[in-house]
Every structure is written in C-alpha cells, then in structure tokens.
Chains A and B, each alone.
Chain A
Amino acid sequence: MPRRFVDSWLRPPDTSSLERMLKSCCELGFWAVAVEVDDKFWSEAKRLTSSYGLEIFRRVTLHPSSKGELYNLLRNVRWKCDLVSVVTNIRDVFMAAARDMRVDTVVANHIDAVYLDRHVVQVAVNSFEVVFSNIAVQGFESVRNSMRVVRTAYRSRLKLIVSSGAQDEFSLRSPRQLASIPWCLGAGPDFALNTVSTTPAKILVENRGRLEGRISPEGVWRLVEGEEEVSPN
C-alpha cells in the first residue's frame, strides 16, 4: 500500500489562497492537510477540500505564556479540533506541553525554541514538530534547532512530524522535499518519510475517531458492520 502523505500545517490568510493551496497540495500528492482556520472559514474549507479529493483536518496552534494559560486554552479547544499544537519559548510551558496528553505536537525549531535536553526527553510523550517555513525564513539558527530536535528524536525514538507551515501556495513543498529535512539532519530515510506520512496520519485519524465517538476511552475502535476500516497507513 502506498504511503499517505500529510501536510500538518497550512495557515491560509483567506479563502482564495486556501483554494490555491489545496489545489497545489492535490498536485503534490498529499492525502490530507491540517488547516488552521477560524470558524467562519471552516465550512468553506471543508467544501473546497471535498472538490479536490483531499482529507481535511482542523488544527489550532496555541501560544501560551504560562502553564495555567496552557491548561485553560486546552480545556477550551481540545474537543473542537483534530490537531492541537503548542508554540512556546518558556521551558516550563514547553515541558508541560510535551507531556500533556491533550496536546498533539510541540513546535521545536523556531529561532528561540527551548533547548531539548535529557530532562525534556524523559517527560516527552507528544510529537515534536519541525516547521519548514521556520527554516526557510529564520536561517541557520532554525536549522541548528531542527538538527538538535531531529537527532534527539531519532536517537531517543520520539515521535517527529515535519510540516510546511505554509501561508501561501509558494511556501508549500512536496512530501519528499519535506522528508529531506530530517534525512539531511541525521535521521534514516524511512524515519524521515514517516515524519510526513505515518506519524501525522496516525495522530489525525485517531483524533478524528475520538471526536466522532468512534474510539472508546480505552483506545479501541468501534467498527460498524459494512463500514470501511480506518487505517493511517
């Protein structure tokens, strides 16, 4: 079975650029996209995605300034979105986000990202995220942070996701170009391809199942007779 590629962060400013981005994603061979849009764009985004044959997931990116604020935000958004991500440069908040089960990914390659040491690795449960647009815009400091994240995740067998973080169609990249980031920075080719396919797809499909009530609290899928089995692969 071929890989299903996922771009787990698109942040279109308006509907027209979203349409151009979805068309490009379809041409680049993505199976699904996670889009960060507000409530009024969400129904329009779903309609557009169905016309291009893509799966769409809703993403929210939190920028908390304290642990208390993080927990408040999570209480509000967890059961509204498919993917919850956290961006922070405060070490306490970073560690809290890395171990909280309501968070899916923690962005770890921006210019003032928290240093990823063994203390963070010990508590980390969630995926770390490397964003391509950070590398393209912020230069070598972001590459240095990305290198540290990729090598730590590869060595410590943590989950890693690579996304484009695109704001227009020119910032999108093909799945193999996104996978080349961890591949260049020290990970194996299979691990690198998993960061844009299996790992994000599994998170998104499971979260969608939870939101639709198709996964029991024990983590078991409820299948109805005649219904297609859902698999992230």
Chain B
Amino acid sequence: MSRVRKRYLLIRVYPREVDVTPAELKRTIVDELLGLGGLLSLAESDISVKRTRLQGGEYILRCGLRSLPVVLLSTAMVRQLGGKKARLDIVKISGTLKGLTS
C-alpha cells in the first residue's frame, strides 16, 4: 500500500482579534468542504488542524496532497468565524512540518 502524501498549510486568521480554537476552525473548514465537494472529498482530504503556533491567530492544517486544491478553496470560502467577519490567509504550504515552521 502506497504512502499517502501530506501537505501542511500555515493559516493566519485575519483579523488577529478573532479568537477561535483549532476544533472550531476545523469545523468551519469541514462545513465549507462538505458544501463544495461533499462527503467523498471530505473523506479523501483527511484534514486536521494540528496545533497553534506561539504567535496568536496562526494554525497548522494538514491535508492530503491530492485534496490540496479543494482544501485551499474551502479556506477561501470562509467568510465568518465565531459570528464575526474574518478571512483565512494561507501564509505557507509545505510537505513537512519542519519546512513549515522553519
């Protein structure tokens, strides 16, 4: 069985004052992903919000390489977080966690 290649996305919430937990962020992205690609896309993407960095408002999202375009579009479709107007900025995309945080 071949290894599933992953991509790690460094996501920054704008504005930084919007406080959201990784679980809430994942829920929001999953909702958008369900609307865009349905259950199959969601299952294939295997997304998880890994952890927050030390700086506030930055999160690391992991997804499958093949689902990267639909996950990117899902993050773009997010317009509200916790009832406030917000957007998710993709700061960096990397194949390893080390590459993302360096």
Contacts and interface: CB of A to CB of B under 8 A. Distances in A.
Given A24-B14, A136-B79, A170-B85, A176 B73 contact: no
Contacts of B86: 170
B72 interface: yes
B73 A180 contact: yes
B84 to A, nearest CB: 10
A136 B73 CA distance: 11
B70 to A, nearest CB: 5
A171 B36 CA distance: 18
Interface in B64-100: 69-70, 72-73, 75-77, 79, 85-87, 89-91, 93
Nearest to B93: A176
Interface residues of B, number: 17
Main secondary structure of the interface of A (DSSP, over half): helix
A184 B69 contact: yes
A178 interface: yes
Interface string A22-40: 0010011000000000000
A174 B90 contact: yes
Contacts of B73: 177, 180-181, 184
Contact of A174 (B69, B77, B85, B89): B89
Nearest to B74: A180
A170 B75 CA distance: 13
Contacts of B76: 132, 173, 177-178, 180-181
A16 B14 CA distance: 17
A191 interface: no
Nearest to B80: A170
A180 B71 CA distance: 9
Contacts of A132: 76
B69 A28 contact: no
Interface of A: 24, 27-28, 132, 135-136, 169-174, 176-181, 183-184, 189, 192
Given A177-B76, A180-B69, 6 more contacts: A136-B77, A170-B87, A171-B87, A174-B91, A176-B93, A177-B73
